[in-house]
Amino acid sequence: MIRLHEFNTKWWGHPVGIVDDGAFFSLSPEAQQEALAPFHWVEYKAPLHEAPLLDMQRAGFFLSDVQEQFRIKLSCEEGSFLEPLNVCFADAKPLELTDESFAAFEHERFQHLPGCSKERLRSRYGPWARQMIREHPETCLAVLANGAIQGWFLSHPVSNGLNLALAMNHRDARISGFLVYQKGLSAYAARGYRIGGASFSVTNTAVHNIYCRLGAQFVAPTGIWLKIMR
């Protein structure tokens, strides 16, 4: 019911678990504690309408985030830009991305972990971003204005379209996040992708408004709970 989360363990430097089966919360307190004992902290995700809220509360899990799930039709149509914007896909030219090059994550569930600074969050997302670029260069891109990178869109194909996994602004971006998203999504449409989907934190009002403007349709939200042991 609980397994080692290898990526988060490597990032955090200590064993991190993830609950795979909500039946865990119906176990006795003694059985739960035995299963939780090897980990520094544990995560659980579930649709909000399915989550066993009282049982999770008794087990000491707290709500750390709600993820808005969405789908969006990809279109080649673009608005007007004050300066020319271009995209560069990683399969055409290698994308260089360091932990220091992207803006800090302000809406992130792991910020509730003890000792989790903005720099530590960057150290989680940087390796993930570079892994995605290596594995899916045909769907990872940078948006540029006058040759300077303004942001990135890192995605991968799935059975029903494109998983828009990670969008980030450059820390020194001169254009709005909306323009980065709009240009990136239109570039995917130009490559033949028609449907995209992903999720983002309900606290990220700016991204919510961007996707609303771009015509996203939202589906059942997912809750994310954490339990911190040490």
**Domain architecture of the chain: domains with CATH:** 2-66+224-228 (no CATH), 70-220 (3.40.630.30)
The pLDDT, as a whole number, for residue 228 is 97
Say which residue the tokens 């990178």 belong to: 149
Q: To the nearest whole number, what is the mean pLDDT of the chain?
A: 94
Residue type present at position 58: R
Instruction: Count the neighbouring beta carbons within 10 Å of the beta carbon of residue 135.
Output: 10
The pLDDT, as a whole number, for residue 118 is 87
The pLDDT, as a whole number, for residue 81 is 65
Q: Is the pLDDT of residue 80 over 70?
A: no
What's the distance, CA 161 to chain centroid?
17
The pLDDT, as a whole number, for residue 124 is 93
Q: Is the pLDDT of residue 79 over 80?
A: no
Rounded distance between C-alpha atoms, residue 74 and residue 90, angstroms: 20
Q: Dihedral sign, CA of 206, 157, 154, 195?
A: negative
The pLDDT, as a whole number, for residue 125 is 92
First to last CA, the chain: 20
230, with CB counted inside 10 A (0-12, 13-18, 19+), is exposed
Residue type present at position 153: F
Helix (H) or strand (E) holding 66: strand 62-73
Helix, strand or coil, per DSSP, at residue 171: coil
Q: Is the pLDDT of residue 82 over 80?
A: no
- In this prediction, residue 141 has a pLDDT band, given cuts at 50, 70 and 90, of very high
Q: Is the pLDDT of residue 84 over 90?
A: no
What mean pLDDT comes out for the span 84-88? 93
Q: Is the pLDDT of residue 207 over 90?
A: yes
Residue 102, φ and ψ in degrees, nearest 5: -105, 155
Instruction: Count the neighbouring beta carbons within 10 Å of the beta carbon of residue 123.
Output: 13
Instruction: Count the neighbouring beta carbons within 10 Å of the beta carbon of residue 109.
Output: 20
What mean pLDDT comes out for the span 60-69? 97
Say which residue the tokens 């990683």 belong to: 90
Q: Which among 202, 200, 215 has a CA at the least distance from the CA of 167?
A: 200
Q: Is the pLDDT of residue 122 over 80?
A: yes
Task: Please name every residue paired with 47 in a beta bridge, in sequence order, or none if there are none.
Answer: 222
Rounded distance between C-alpha atoms, residue 215 and residue 59, angstroms: 39
Q: Is the pLDDT of residue 149 over 90?
A: yes
Q: Is the pLDDT of residue 55 over 90?
A: yes
